[in-house]
């Protein structure tokens, strides 16, 4: 009986804790506004085609568009813009 009571208490605490965490972990409006915009995919469009929808001739163009740094997988990222191969192209200028 005691084990059943502990199990029920653990389930209740787990459910309420998960609910509380979800309420506290929402991103702030500033984080949402500063997040990178990813273009909507059209039906049948591959990830490679989506990446090609944004093209920056060089890092200066990406910075001028307010899109630097570019991370691998983001639209506009190309290995040519990432000479160090770290997955981050066009790092911000200090």
Q: Which has more pLDDT, 62 or 11?
A: 62
The residues spanned by each domain of the chain are 1-32, 36-94
Summary mean pLDDT of the chain:
76
What separation in angstroms does the CA of 70 have from each of 36, 45, 58, 91?
A: 9, 21, 11, 8
pLDDT over 80 (residue 21) = no
Q: Any idea which residue has 């991370």 for tokens?
A: 71
What separation in angstroms does the CA of 30 have from each of 33, 35, 60, 69?
A: 5, 9, 25, 18
Asked if residues 58 and 81 have their Cβ atoms less than 8 Å apart, the reply is yes
Q: pLDDT tens digit string along 36-81?
A: 555 566 677 776 676 566 788 898 988 888 888 988 888 888 889 9
Task: Give the pLDDT score at 5.
Answer: 85
Task: Give the pLDDT score at 20.
Answer: 61
Task: Give the pLDDT score at 24.
Answer: 63
């Amino acid at each position: 009986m005691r084990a059943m009571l502990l199990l029920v208490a653990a389930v209740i605490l787990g459910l309420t804790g998960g609910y509380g965490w979800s309420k506290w972990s929402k991103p702030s409006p500033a984080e949402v506004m500063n997040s990178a915009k990813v273009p909507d995919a059209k039906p049948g469009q591959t990830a490679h085609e989506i990446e090609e929808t944004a093209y920056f001739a060089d890092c200066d163009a990406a910075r001028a568009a307010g899109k630097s740094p570019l991370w691998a997988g983001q639209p506009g990222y190309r290995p040519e813009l990432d000479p160090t191969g770290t997955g981050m192209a066009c790092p911000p200028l200090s």
